Amino acid sequence: MALSYKTRRRLSLAFLFFGLPAYIALAWWIMSLFERPSLWVELAIYTVLGVIWAFPLKAVFKGVGQADPDARPDD
């Protein structure tokens, strides 16, 4: 079942305001459990973690910045 435009927009806002900060805090906490790696390794880990969160949520964010396709045109 495809999500409506309104649902995708609300979910994307919820993910950005609540999910992404929680993901950042979780990644930061997990990294703090281990001994600090070299600067380049740490940069690579944070870069991968910074990109990988978007792939599962691609369907939610797709087309949210566009106009509502279900809206009636105003005359």
The reported pLDDT for the residue numbered 8 is: 84
The reported pLDDT for the residue numbered 1 is: 59
Q: Tens-digit pLDDT profile for the chain (75 aa)?
A: 577 888 888 888 998 999 999 999 999 999 899 899 899 999 999 999 889 988 888 878 887 777 777 777 774
The reported pLDDT for the residue numbered 35 is: 92
The reported pLDDT for the residue numbered 68 is: 78
Q: How far apart are CA 41 and CA 44, in angstroms?
A: 5
- Name 57's Cβ contacts closer than 8 Å, sequence gap at least 6: 12, 15
Judge if pTM exceeds 0.75.
Answer: no
Instruction: Give the count of alpha carbons within 13 A of 56, CB side only.
Output: 8
